[in-house]
Amino acid sequence: MTSQEIKQRFGIIGSSPLLNRAIDIARQVAPTDITVLITGESGSGKEVFSHIIHQMSARKHGPFIAVNCGAIPEGTIDSELFGHEKGSFTGAHEARKGYFEVVNGGTIFLDEVGELPLGTQARLLRVLEMGEYIRVGSSKVQKTDCRVVAATNVEMFEAVRAGKFREDLYYRLNTVPLKIPPLRDRKEDIHLLFRKFVADFSDKYRSPNITLSDDAVRVLTNYGWPGNVRQLKNIAEQIAVLEKDRNITGQTLTNYIPHDNPGNLPMRLNQNQGKDDFSERDILYKVLFDMKKDMSDLKHLVADIIKSGNNMSDFASQHPQIVNSLYRDIAITNDHAITIQPPQTQQHQPPHTDYSIAQESEVQEIEESLSLIDKEADMIKKALKKHKGKRKSASEELGISERTLYRKIKELDLD
């Protein structure tokens, strides 16, 4: 059977090289009993390829069962797959055959196999290697002759490295890997699929056919389609039912497409992961560097004013923005201090106000402390004083969580 005949029989639409390659692999491996692992994103059509493998195999007249491993609770999945004996657990009123017993001589499709519990994985490995299994609550070994086709939308090798999936089972399932390409890698097929879907839905709901403008076709092909064929089919059905104007423009189509495209974005990290530590460190460094720069600028400015003999009030009236931005109290050793007061607004400035400078002939600079612990403690004290001891408001002011503020107060003995 050729690739084109397979497409017609199983309703596969498209001519993408990646899609044709996947069909060729399925056609070649079908006559054998080799275990196949189908990988691909959700909605890309993995189950269709399991049907291709079964129908083109010598087991095509035997049973075919598709099992969604992710939809079965962990406590009952062993019973579902391998069966159980009467009285083996609460509610087991009679013996029951499992899927591996029912599908004997046929094919079982284990969808979302990456969701299997580790204990079930060990039992599945026994089935794949020896064709043996034991019912829940029994000690009798039973035989089964079935072909296993598995599928998953997770990165299996990463799951193995994380200890969530058995490495030996992974290599046993992955005898022949079959990767289904996502829809965004089959751009030439998107328009064909959409036309097929809207034609089917127009016939189903007895409505006029739908046509796409050129800009609508561009919107279709440029979108990432994180939900793949399933998402495209859903949007085609919505448009076929809801739109009265059967000539669809790009603007109309964008109303049905989500604005964000999670399928093309990097994985989002947990927003709480490392939030407190990063915010605290980042803000602390920024404040320290800004303070050091401001202090250095102010010292040089005051020294220039003293050397030139200018009156501070004259300078402040000429450059109020500079004085305001550099407003600080500078403590100088040997009982000498230079205090700069910010210029007042015209409404609040009392008459004949002047800026006084207590100076000596040579300004002495001191080396300020750059200890992170001292600066951190000073910042916390100022924030608590500003907000009158309200720790929640102080933590918001500092850009850290209230829990982190409590911890810092305890560590720095600020109570």
Which CATH number covers residue 205? 1.10.8.60
Per-residue pLDDT tens digits for 79-127? 999 999 888 888 888 888 999 999 999 999 999 999 999 999 999 999 9
pLDDT for 326 beyond 60: no
H or E element, residue 190 = helix 187-204
What tokens appear for 123 in the block? 């039992």
Last residue of a domain, one of 181, 198, 232: 181
Asked whether residue 150 falls in the same domain as residue 256, the answer is: no
Q: Is 162 among the domain residues?
A: yes
Q: Is 297 among the domain residues?
A: no
- More reliable by pLDDT, 324 or 15: 15
Q: Is 62 among the domain residues?
A: yes
Look up the domain containing 378 and give its range.
Answer: 372-411
What tokens appear for 306 in the block? 């003293």
pLDDT for 275 beyond 70: no
Q: Is 315 among the domain residues?
A: no
Asked whether residue 127 falls in the same domain as residue 138, the answer is: yes
What tokens appear for 262 in the block? 């999670």
CATH number of the domain at 169, please: 3.40.50.300
Asked whether residue 71 falls in the same domain as residue 131, the answer is: yes
Last residue of a domain, one of 264, 288, 307: 264
Asked whether residue 204 falls in the same domain as residue 172, the answer is: no
Q: Is 363 among the domain residues?
A: no
Residue from 66, 75, 77 nearest 111 by CA:
66
Asked whether residue 152 falls in the same domain as residue 166, the answer is: yes
Which pLDDT score, from 0 to 100, does residue 407 have? 79
Q: Is 29 among the domain residues?
A: yes
Strand ranges in 154-238 using DSSP code E only, listed in sequence order: 176-179, 211-212
Asked whether residue 154 falls in the same domain as residue 257, the answer is: no
Strands 107-111 and 132-134: unpaired
Model confidence at 2, pLDDT cuts 50, 70, 90, reads confident
Q: Is 383 among the domain residues?
A: yes
What pTM was estimated for this model as a whole? 0.60
Last residue of a domain, one of 160, 181, 202: 181
Q: Where are the alpha helices (DSSP H) in 103-152?
A: 118-130
User: What is the CA 141 to chain-centroid distance, rounded?
Assistant: 44
Chain length of the chain: 415
Asked whether residue 164 falls in the same domain as residue 206, the answer is: no
Q: Give me the number of domains the chain comprises.
A: 3
Residue 165 is given by DSSP the state: S
Model confidence at 324, pLDDT cuts 50, 70, 90, reads low
Which pLDDT score, from 0 to 100, does residue 18 have? 93
Asked whether residue 138 falls in the same domain as residue 151, the answer is: yes
Mean residue pLDDT across the chain: 80
DSSP string, 89-111: STT--S-B--HHHHTTTSEEEEE
Asked whether residue 200 falls in the same domain as residue 166, the answer is: no
Asked whether residue 103 falls in the same domain as residue 218, the answer is: no
Asked whether residue 148 falls in the same domain as residue 54, the answer is: yes
Asked whether residue 156 falls in the same domain as residue 217, the answer is: no
Model confidence at 243, pLDDT cuts 50, 70, 90, reads confident
Q: Is 50 among the domain residues?
A: yes
Model confidence at 63, pLDDT cuts 50, 70, 90, reads very high
